[in-house]
Amino acid sequence: MWTLNKKIALGLGLLLPQWVMAAELNAANTAWVLTSTALVLFMTLPGLSLFYGGLVRSKNVLSILMQCFSITCLVSILWLAGIYSLIFSEGGNWQAIIGGLSKCFIPQMTIQNLTGDIPEAAFFMFQLTFAIITPALIVGAFAERMKFSSMLWFSGLWLILVYMPICHWIWGGGWLQSLGVRDFAGGIVIHVNAGIAALVSALVLGRRKGFPTVSMPPHNMTMVVTGAGMLWVGWFGFNAGSALKADGSAAMTLLVTHIAAASGSLVWMIIEWRRFKRPSVLGIATGMVAGLGTITPASGFVGPLGGLIIGGLAGGVCFYATQYIKRVLVIDDSLDVFPVHGVGGIMGSLLTAIFSDRSLGGIGLDEGITIGHQLGVQALAVIITIIWSGIFSYLILIAINKMLGLRVTQDEEVEGLDIVLHEETGYHKLN
């Protein structure tokens, strides 16, 4: 996304939003973006669903799968109705803040429409899969206790009030993009954004009944690791698809992404091994997610060395962040969304400024831009996102709590969301 805008901008000598159309469709780029779209949706359905579903207790497994599935559907319809337009269409005088309404329900879109040199339909779908996974990531924070109706309201309102503006500012030609912020595939737009919303959700909803004294181990670790593997594979589309091109940059992004996943995994594993005497399977898988989330903003700007170091730092920092949130602050961010995605996203977005530099193997900063300047822009975008996502997530939750209530009752929580909210159970022991 970034590269596309930047290349067009460089070509024309000024920054124009990406609806500027190139004359011809490029089949190779189109094929890769279509493939990447499938890979990124695969991250949510079924990757994240399985990863999260396995981490909760068996009485809540369906509630997690249902949340991921229904968010996919809800976001898709909202995206068509106007979110896509308000992020990616020309906003005229308001462009710095928000896009326009001309593409609500995309009435003019035909198979001939191009965004850059790929079909606009492909661009629409690729971007949609990012908008789907962002609210889906947040459900890990309030797992096992939130009402389904409230969860739907929260996800929809959060998409409109938080994801839409932040995404427009950074990717849709908004003011942060004009300042030159570098967020290749969503370190800020997705991971910081969702991570902060997760932390706020965990604080507003409060702890699960019994946390932290009652044992709440993952009910199915094989499901967790299966989902984690799917996330790793899907992340190739997430990061390497974000150049919207099938070229050397996409290949390097894929390589960097992969190395970061591997180094994040190993670092987390080694720390656990030394500290708790055993290398855990959940640990290595969580280190992978931390490495991937953290490399996301940097993935198209840094070299393999950057991937190795950023991934490794993610494995260490996110490990200690998880311990701190859970053990010291005793916040029940149930599936550790903030310490992994939020902390990783913040760190990766800042490190992007440093490892973009040519001397560290990156593709280089823009002409005349120093590391210090870029770091300042990155920090500004991160802080703005933390404040915006923090405040609006809080307000949305408070409003829903007033109108519908956020949590199921304590008795219902003990019985499990599957049977209480959906009248189904994940596992039938007698057939």
Which residues bind to another protein, rule: CB under 8 A?
212, 215-218, 272, 276, 278, 280, 282-283, 286, 319, 322-323, 326-327, 336
* Residue closer to another protein, measured from CB, 143 or 189: 143
Give the shortest CB-278-to-another protein separation in angstroms: 7
Q: With respect to another protein, which residue has the nearer C-beta, 219 or 258? A: 219
Write the DSSP assignment of 142-162 as a string of letters.
Answer: STTTB-HHHHHHHHHHHIIII
Nearest to 353 by CA among 312, 297, 292, 305: 297
Residue keyed to tokens 């096992």? 144
First-to-last CA distance in the chain?
49
Q: Smallest Cα–Cα separation from 154: which of 87, 205, 88?
A: 205
Q: What is the DSSP letter of 192?
A: I
Nearest to 416 by CA among 18, 50, 39, 58: 58
Rounded CA-CA distance 39/29 in Å is 15
Tokens of 370: 């120093």
How many angstroms separate the CA atoms of 330 and 325, rounded? 6
Least distance from another protein to the Cβ atom of residue 94, Å: 43
Provide the minimum distance between the beta carbon of 222 and another protein in the complex, in angstroms, as a whole number.
14
Distances, alpha carbon 224 to alpha carbons 46, 51, 117, 218, 257, in Å: 11, 4, 38, 8, 21
Q: How far is the CB of 212 from another protein (least distance, A)?
A: 7
Residues 343 and 368: their CA atoms lie apart, in Å, by: 30
Q: Smallest Cα–Cα separation from 354: which of 411, 398, 284, 303? A: 303
Q: Which is nearer to another protein, 289 or 309 (CB)?
A: 289
Q: Output DSSP code: residue 262.
A: H
Least Å distance, CB 317 to another protein, is 14
Q: Shortest approach of another protein to residue 394 CB, angstroms?
A: 26
Choice between 187 and 218, CB closer to another protein: 218
Amino acid at 339: P
| Comparison of 148 and 211: residue with beta carbon closer to another protein | 211
Least distance to another protein from the beta carbon of 276, Å? Answer: 5
Taking the complex as a whole, the smallest distance from the CB of residue 219 to another protein amounts, in Å, to: 11
Q: Which amino acid is at 235?
A: W
